[in-house]
Amino acid sequence: MAMKGTAANTGILLVTANVGSLFDDPENLQKNWLREFYQVVHTHKPHFMALHCQEFGGKNYEASMSHVDKFVKELLSSDAMKDYNRARVYLDENFKSQEQFTALGSFYFLHESLKNIYQFDFKAKKYKKVTGKEIYSDTLESTPMLEKEKFPQDYFPECKWSRKGFIRTRWCITDCAFDLVNIHLFHDASNLVAWETSPSVYSGIRHKALSYVLDRIIDQRFERVSYFVFGDFNFRLDAKSVVETLCAKATMQTVRAADTNEVVKLIFRESDNDRKVMLQLEKKLFDYFNQDVFRDNNGTALLEFDKELSVFKDKLYELDISFPPSYPYSEDCSQGMQYMNTRCPAWCDRILMSHSAKELILKSENDEKQVVYDHIGPNVCMGDHKPVFLSFRIAAGAGKPIANVHKCCVVQ
């Protein structure tokens, strides 16, 4: 595989993918998913590639173990990846420990042309040269090459067995050090609850968890470096604002449970036009009559309701979004562009970075587009989430003024 770039810069590809659907229906979904993933690799030809997976193994990990092994083997040995002669794979397979299980999987691939790449040992506080292919699984807590935590149970008490947390690794490439954080934040448990307030109670829970992660990766235990945080943030559009906008001329009917008087359904009807139903809202139903609004011009008209990242603007940066909401897509293989009517479509899957990481991205001096932020498999069923990727280049030594890596590297 001919590589893009020169000795002066290094091609980087970061991918985030909630892959739970792939293990619930592996026969139909994995082949398509891998084909689309390999196509992105072939197009961008990175020297270093990071794939952050959430819900790895699906909803029933124990029953999916054989599919997990097959998926990992395929990624490591496929012809499409043959030029990546070094790899690190970290799989949280400790599903029997509800206190620690996150279902996160982090894959890192190094091209044979890439020299002098090191990974940080958090226990020894030293960088170690990366050689060969290694897989770590089960109890990742004992692995010194990463930091892993599951969020405390009291962050989201109504979801007893929530598998949300983060895995952090640190890398040094051409004297440039950066952290890569695989993250999975809390979902919206009920559309009705999310609709009640602006911002929603779930937005507040995600804010708390993301703040916890950011505090951890910039604390005083280790030297500060640039960082990329990418995963399933479960960021949602501000439900109250979206509904009020989509149904501005509608009348609302409230349906309550006969025994508890609890609101179980909201029905929004047009004031005229034979009182046509525009939106039906239940705990796990968001049935809007016209899905085109989420797809037209990549849904950019709805970006004004994507507000959860704004409170972190002093710590996190994101390139402009130019792809449609990444969730919740139909899991029907014949419906690759169709959204399910379970949730309001939203940009859940994101690649965020520190402001110093933004400066590391090499801006092209010619007309060729060097920085690409997009989704994978726009016309193909990839499961309920479309993977999202960021392709860019970093210049040799770009991180020196930030991290002084050349001084802190101790290679073993």
Model pLDDT for residues 136-173, shown as the tens digit of each residue: 997 798 999 999 999 988 887 677 667 899 999 999 99
The Cα–Cα gap between 318 and 321 comes to: 8
Q: 166: which strand partners?
A: 149, 183
Backbone angles phi, psi at 167, to 5 degrees: -130, 130
Look at residue 276 and tell me if it is in a domain: no
**Mean pLDDT of all residues belonging to the chain:** 91
pLDDT in tens, 13-24: 999 999 999 998
Look at residue 90 and tell me if it is in a domain: yes
pLDDT of residue 202: 96
Look at residue 206 and tell me if it is in a domain: yes
For 384, the token pair is 């309920």
Look at residue 283 and tell me if it is in a domain: no
- φ/ψ bin of 55: left (φ > 0), alpha (ψ from -120 to 50), beta (otherwise): left
pLDDT in tens, 67-107: 999 999 999 999 999 999 999 999 998 888 888 999 999 99
The Cα–Cα gap between 359 and 44 comes to: 20
DSSP H or E run through 12: strand 9-18
For 402, the token pair is 């930030």
For 35, the token pair is 């084909």
Residue 410 — very low, low, confident or very high, per pLDDT cuts 50/70/90? Answer: very low
Look at residue 289 and tell me if it is in a domain: no
Look at residue 408 and tell me if it is in a domain: no
Q: Cα torsion for 137, 143, 148, 150, to the nearest 10°?
A: 60
Q: Closest Cα partner for 203 from 241, 237, 171?
A: 237
Residue 363 — very low, low, confident or very high, per pLDDT cuts 50/70/90? Answer: low
The Cα–Cα gap between 319 and 224 comes to: 22
The Cα–Cα gap between 228 and 270 comes to: 45
Q: Closest Cα partner for 375 from 218, 268, 265, 230?
A: 230
Counting DSSP H helices and E strands in the chain, the numbers are: 10, 18
Look at residue 254 and tell me if it is in a domain: no
What residues contact residue 286 under an 8 Å CB cut-off, 6+ apart?
A: 191, 279, 341, 342, 343, 344
340 alpha carbon, distance to own chain's centre: 19
pLDDT of residue 397: 67
**CA distances, 159 to each of 95, 154, 200 (Å):** 16, 10, 17
pLDDT of residue 161: 66
Percentage of the chain exceeding pLDDT 90: 79
The Cα–Cα gap between 329 and 340 comes to: 5
Strands 133-136, 86-91: pairing is: parallel
**How many domains, in total, are found in the chain?**
1
How is residue 317 annotated by DSSP? B
The Cα–Cα gap between 44 and 391 comes to: 7
pLDDT in tens, 290-324: 999 999 999 999 999 999 999 999 999 999 999 99
**CA distances, 256 to each of 158, 244, 263 (Å):** 22, 21, 4
193 alpha carbon, distance to own chain's centre: 24
pLDDT in tens, 174-188: 889 999 999 999 999
Confirm if 337 and 386 have CB atoms less than 8 A apart. Answer: no
pLDDT of residue 96: 83
Burial of 405 (0-12, 13-18, 19+ CB in 10 A): buried
- Say whether pLDDT at 381 is over 60: yes
pLDDT of residue 104: 96
- Say whether pLDDT at 408 is over 90: no
Average pLDDT of the residues in 222-238: 97
Give me the CATH number covering residue 333: 3.60.10.10
How is residue 37 annotated by DSSP? H
Q: Closest Cα partner for 354 from 186, 220, 222, 214?
A: 214
DSSP H or E run through 24: helix 20-24
Query: What domain range is 388 assigned to?
Result: 10-236+299-394
Q: Give the DSSP letter string of 51-82.
A: EEEESTT-S-HHHHHHHHHHHHHHHHH-GGGT
Cα Rg, the chain, nearest whole Å: 22
pLDDT of residue 160: 62
Average pLDDT of the residues in 29-47: 96
pLDDT of residue 369: 63
pLDDT of residue 282: 98
More confident residue, 387 or 6: 387
